[in-house]
Every structure is written in structure tokens, then in C-alpha cells.
Amino acid sequence: MTSSAATDSLPPDIRALLASIQLVLQRYLSDSLIAVYLHGSAVTSGLRRDSDVDVLVVVEQPLTPALRQQLVTELLAYSASPEETTGLRPLEVMIFRRTELVNLRYPACSEFVYGEWLREELEMGSVPGVECEPELTLVLAQARQEALPLVGPALAELVPIITRAQVRRATGDLLPSLLAGLQGDERNVLLTLARMWRTLEVGDFVSKDVAAQWALTRSPAEHGKLLEYARQAYLGIISDHWQVRESESLSTARYLLSRVERGL
């Protein structure tokens, strides 16, 4: 079961969700399950209105196609997008094989990834497979610093140090796809760029709202204003509407990109 000491400070609904997810993992992964971690905003700045509950899992054996499908079916029932009124939180569950972590390569490879952005294709029958992506390298670098063990040892015992050079490489490799998704995802893209800038300059990993606060004090007024708008929306203080801010969003994204590229 989920360690009560590890989750005592979490809201009751999140504790219940984690306990349910852990039971699912134990049921299907059985003896292959090595460790389960909570990471992301739940263990740093606190969950926001639209925040995912981020769970990282380490297993010994590769997942069979049937097992992948069983996990998808279970996780779809415990997760929902922020726009839904079910009361469920969006889940992000990443599973890594122990051997992939111990012998970490670039880019890092996951055994399985579940997230709400995949819901439509998952409901149509798609099943997550092995993926090797720069973003996974950054996820592991951040999780290694902050992940809360629910089962198993500290993540730093399973994941080797990810160097600043590797973080820079992964950041640079992620930029094209991140910027390509600006339209329709303006808040997330701008805040992610702010966090990249902060990480490259300072060397730490902070929440998106903290990164935005840091970046806006170092930006021209017009870009700082938009970062504050995105920050307040992320915190749930305001509802954001980006259709009328397309040109401002593009301009601020270009500015933040220039700051990120300077640190690569």
C-alpha cells in the first residue's frame, strides 16, 4: 500500500487516487514492480487547478501487449481531462524498465506512458509502446531531484546523475516540437519556455508559476505582462483566453526562445 508517511501532506482525494493506482500497478505488474514515485507539482509547489498527478514507475520486466492494454483500460477509468466535471484529476503515468535507467542513454526510453493528451487515441484502441524522447530525459532529471518514493528506494539510487550538458541537449532537441504546438496551447508553451530558461540559467527545476515569476522580472514589460497572465491562469486565479492574444503570444514565445537558445 501507499506509505502514509509519504502522502500525509497531500489532499485526501489525491491520497485515495494514489492508493487506487498503486493497487492497479501491484495487481498487473506483480513481482516485476520495483518502485513507484510521485513527482511534479504534487511534491513541489502543490497541485494547481489543471495539474496532472504525475506518477513514475520502475519495473524489471518488459510489458506484454496484453498488459499494456489492461493498464490503459484501468487508467482511463481513474483519470480525466481538466475540462471534465467528473471530479477526477488528469493522470500522467510513466513506466521505465530498471535496466534502461541504470544504463541510461540519450534520449531516455520509457516502457509505457499514459496521459490525458493521449485519451482520444487510447479510446480508439491505441496502446502505448516503448518511446525514446528528449522530454523523458528532462522528466528523469527533474524527478531524480524531487520524486517522493511511495514504494521502493529513492529514485537517485536507480537513475544516474543527468548532467547539465544532457539537460541542454534535451532542451534544444525539444524546442521545435514545443514551438510547433504554440497555437492552441499558448499558456503551457510560454510557461514551459520560461521554465527552460530558468533551468538553463540557474540549474534547478522549479514549477511553472515560479519560473514565470522569475522570467517576467527579467523580461521587457510587454512580455512580462503576458507571462503574468499565463501564470495567473496556471494558478487558477483567472480564466485565460488566447485567441485575442495570438500576435502577443508569438512575440513573447520568440523572446523566450532567444533566452533559451542563449543558454544552450
**pLDDT, tens digit, 9 for 90 and up, residues 72-87:** 999 999 998 877 767 7
Rounded to an integer, the average pLDDT of 184-203 is 98
Among the candidates 126, 160, 194, a domain finishes at 160
Band of the pLDDT at 5, cuts 50, 70, 90? low
Average pLDDT over residues 142-169: 96
Question: What residues make up the domain containing 218?
Answer: 165-263
Burial of 258 (0-12, 13-18, 19+ CB in 10 A): exposed
Q: What is the pTM of this model?
A: 0.93
> Quick one: pLDDT at residue 84?
74
Mean per-residue pLDDT over the chain, rounded: 94
| Catalytic annotation, pick one of 83, 84, 92, 120 | 92
In angstroms, the CA 240 to CA 92 distance is 23
Binning pLDDT at 50, 70 and 90, where does residue 1 land?
A: very low
Count how many domains the chain has: 2
Q: What's residue 85's pLDDT?
A: 64
> CA-CA distance, 208 to 232, in Å (whole number)?
11
Q: Confirm if 187 and 230 have CB atoms less than 8 A apart.
A: yes
Active site residue 92: yes
Of the residues 160, 195, 225, the one at which a domain ends: 160
Question: Could you give the percent of the chain with pLDDT greater than 70?
Answer: 97
CATH number at residue 125: 3.30.460.10
- What pLDDT sits at residue 3? 53
**Cα-trace Rg, the chain:** 18
> Mean of the pLDDT values across residues 41-64?
91
> E-strand spans in 20-108?
33-39, 53-59, 91-97
Q: Please state, in angstroms and rounded to a whole number, the distance separating the CA atoms of residues 20 and 22.
A: 5
Dist CA 223 CA 201 (whole Å): 18
Q: Which of 134, 160, 186 is the last residue of a domain?
A: 160
